[in-house]
Structure 1
Amino acid sequence: MKEVMAFIRVNKINPTKKALAEGGFPAFTCRSVLGRGKKRIDPELLTLVMESGELPMTPQGEHLTESFRWIPKRMLTLIVDDEQVKDVVDILIKANQTGNPGDGKIFVLPIFEAYTVRSGEHTMDAY
């Protein structure tokens, strides 16, 4: 089994839920999270700002005014069989890809054990 963890844009949660359900993956956990990626500042913009002393009215200019800004995202977690990982990843990419920075990240992690709380069953079939 694998855990597929995806960080996506807030406005993409409904299309993602629909795509996962249509793809046969209706069971997942969704959390509201705050974070940020490795957004880089254009060196030319930084030089321009240092020379002119003015910040441009752009997302990059806004970024320069803050040392650290949290960005709202949604974190999805799915537990799937090893053979289903590629299908889930493909669905997530197709539902969330805009071609712009901030589209998100997907991580795949191994699951070594699973337990059912109600029965105490310890099995890889417990999920």
Structure 2
Amino acid sequence: MKEVIAIIRPNKANATKESLAVLGFPSLHACKVVGRGKQKGILGEVSFPVSPELEKQEGGMKYVPKRMISLMVDDQDVSLVVAVITKINRTGQIGDGRIFVCPVENVVRIRTGEKGKTAI
């Protein structure tokens, strides 16, 4: 099993979630995150008020609002999930995001006690 973590533009989150659901990956976690890479700002892309600590500073934004999507997938599904996330989120501009693929040692469903692949 693998965990696929994608840091993407806020305006691409819904399309990403919908595309993954259509392909059979409806279970995921999504949250608002802030961080910073090399780009230093996408203020014109956000559709919500930006708090003062995120506002543009000299040379860019202090932190950039993004969305983080995380899902657990079988090893054989990783390339499909990565390809879908990449296709939906690639604009060719700075700030398209990153995808991280991490190993998952085990999964346990709390309600039933199922483990491994069946617990996903």
Q: Supply the distance in 1 between the matched residues of 2:88 and 2:4 (Cα, whole angstroms).
A: 15
Aligned partner of residue 125 in structure 1, secondary structure:
helix
Bigger drift between 11-20 and 97-106 goes to 11-20
User: Between Structure 1 and Structure 2, how many residues are aligned?
Assistant: 106
* Correspondence 1:114 to 2:94: no
% of aligned pairs identical?
46
Distance 1:63 1:32, change over 3 A: closer
Indicate the RMSD between aligned Cα atoms, in angstroms: 2.1
Q: Supply the distance in 1 between the matched residues of 2:25 and 2:93 (Cα, whole angstroms).
A: 26
TM-score, normalised via structure 2 length: 0.79
Q: Supply the distance in 2 between the matched residues of 1:69 and 1:5 (Cα, whole angstroms).
A: 23
Match of 1:2 in 2: 2
Q: Supply the distance in 2 between the matched residues of 1:73 and 1:67 (Cα, whole angstroms).
A: 15
Cα distance, 1:122 vs. partner? 3.7
The residue type paired with residue 70 of structure 1 is: Y
The residue type paired with residue 2 of structure 2 is: K
Runs of 4 or more off by more than 4 Å in structure 1? none
* Correspondence 1:100 to 2:82: no
Match of 2:66 among 68, 73, 84: 73
The residue type paired with residue 30 of structure 2 is: C
Whose radius of gyration is greater, 1 or 2? 1
Deviations 1:33-90 (A, max 9, x none): 01011238xxxxxxxxxxxxxxxxxxxxx97715861111000001000000000000
Residue segments in structure 2 that go unaligned for 5+ positions in a row: 41-54
The residue type paired with residue 11 of structure 1 is: N
Match of 2:81 among 79, 83, 88: 88
Distance 1:73 1:110, change over 3 A: same
